[in-house]
């Protein structure tokens, strides 16, 4: 299939789907408090997407080869969980950090975005990890421009994470997104500047670095989805969907509640 260059009509539909994804995160933000279960967050997001947005939660029953269908509508990855955490009956407590990853399908197109939430007062360490992961995502976004290369993104992300004493997860990456949830290319969050395919206007992909406070090694839980740090260190992730434009890059997963670029 190769990397899809989106038409102006497809780009407009992606703008809509991506904005809805960001707005679903805005919607859930006030509910992310000590005592709420991740299952309740899932139920609220599902109802909002379906009833208020007229959208489909893409994770629900998503079953790529080698996976059982994902049982919920959002991913909630808590503390040492890296990604693809399954909402459950456990309540959030003060000091937790949780990534909420939403993907909505609207008019056939996917909007994919995630944010970190600090529950109650975070530890200095947890806050710093979340901040550095956020900076990593934005450094990657700032590296996006036509004529640049996919490897430029991974290189700046890896440098910033490792420069702060953290590590980058290798097994999961950003991805092209559009009519498909996971399209080409793979957007690695590590690597060498100038490597990989050239970036061209009309490409749309996610940047979603997973940054571990400890070692990069991962483990898969027996549920077949939840990915955790092997050393049980904390992990943080942020995700935006971006469009390569004629002059640079447009972040599509934006809403009133999106935390602004830190630079
Ligand atoms: N939203 C995730 C991503 O950023 C994918 C989740 S797949 C699921 O690519 F099945 F776990 F939901
Ligand atoms: Co994604
Ligand atoms: Co996502």
Query: Which mutation among 45, 71, 76, 84 tests ligand 1's pocket best, with the greatest number of atoms within 8 A of CB?
Result: 84
1 part of a folded domain? no
Averaged pLDDT for residues 220-234: 98
Domain holding 36, by residue range, is 8-251
pLDDT digits (tens, 9 = 90+) for 161-200: 999 999 999 999 999 999 999 999 999 999 999 999 999 9
Q: Residues lining ligand 2 (ion), CB within 5 A?
A: 112, 206
Query: Which mutation among 46, 56, 61, 62 tests ligand 1's pocket best, with the greatest number of atoms within 8 A of CB?
Result: 62
For the Cβ of 112 lying below 6 angstroms from any atom of ligand 1, the answer is: yes
Task: Supply the pLDDT for residue 131.
Answer: 98
62 part of a folded domain? yes
132 part of a folded domain? yes
For the Cβ of 103 lying below 6 angstroms from any atom of ligand 1, the answer is: yes
102: region left, alpha or beta (phi > 0 left; psi from -120 to 50 alpha):
beta
Q: How far, in Å, from the CA of 73 to the mean position of ligand 1? A: 10
- pLDDT surpassing 80 at residue 151: yes
Residue with the nearest Cα to atom 4 of ligand 1? 112
262 part of a folded domain? no
218 part of a folded domain? yes
Give how many domains the chain has, as a whole number: 1
Which ligand lies nearest the alpha carbon of 205?
Answer: 2
Atom in ligand 1 nearest the alpha carbon of residue 62 = 10
Task: Supply the pLDDT for residue 44.
Answer: 99
247 part of a folded domain? yes
Which ligand lies nearest the alpha carbon of 83?
Answer: 1
C-alpha distance from residue 18 to each of 15, 45, 80, 199 (Å):
5, 15, 27, 20
- pLDDT surpassing 80 at residue 1: no
17 part of a folded domain? yes
96 part of a folded domain? yes
Residue with the nearest Cα to atom 12 of ligand 1? 59
CATH number at residue 204: 3.90.230.10
In this prediction the pTM is 0.99
pLDDT digits (tens, 9 = 90+) for 51-61: 999 999 999 99
* Tokens standing for residue 17: 């789907």
Tally Cβ neighbours within 10 Å of residue 60.
17
Mean pLDDT of the chain: 98
The size of the chain, in residues, is 263
């Amino acid at each position: 299939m190769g990397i899809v260059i989106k038409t102006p009509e497809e780009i407009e539909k992606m703008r809509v789907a991506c904005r809805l994804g960001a707005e679903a995160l805005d919607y859930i933000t006030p509910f992310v408090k000590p005592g709420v279960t991740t299952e309740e967050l899932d139920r609220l997001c599902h109802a909002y997407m379906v009833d208020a947005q007229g959208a489909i939660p893409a994770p629900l029953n998503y079953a790529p080869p080698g996976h059982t269908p994902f049982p919920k509508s959002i991913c909630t990855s808590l503390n040492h969980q890296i990604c693809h955490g399954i909402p459950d009956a456990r309540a959030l407590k003060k000091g937790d950090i949780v990534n909420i990853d939403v993907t909505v399908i609207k008019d056939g197109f996917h909007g994919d975005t995630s944010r970190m939430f600090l529950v109650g007062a975070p530890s200095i360490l947890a806050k710093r990890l979340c901040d550095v992961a956020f900076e990593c995502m934005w450094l990657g976004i700032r590296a996006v421009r036509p004529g640049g290369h996919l490897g430029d993104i991974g290189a700046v992300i890896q440098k910033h994470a490792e420069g702060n004493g953290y590590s980058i997860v290798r097994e999961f990456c950003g991805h092209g997104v559009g009519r498909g949830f996971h399209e080409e290319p793979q957007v690695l969050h590590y690597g060498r500047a100038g490597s990989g395919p050239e970036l061209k206007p009309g490409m749309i992909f996610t940047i979603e670095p997973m940054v571990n406070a400890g070692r990069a090694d991962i483990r898969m839980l027996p549920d077949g989805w939840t990915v955790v740090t092997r050393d049980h260190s904390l992990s943080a992730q942020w995700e935006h969907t971006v469009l390569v434009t004629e002059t640079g890059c447009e972040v599509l997963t934006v809403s009133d509640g999106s935390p602004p670029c830190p630079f």
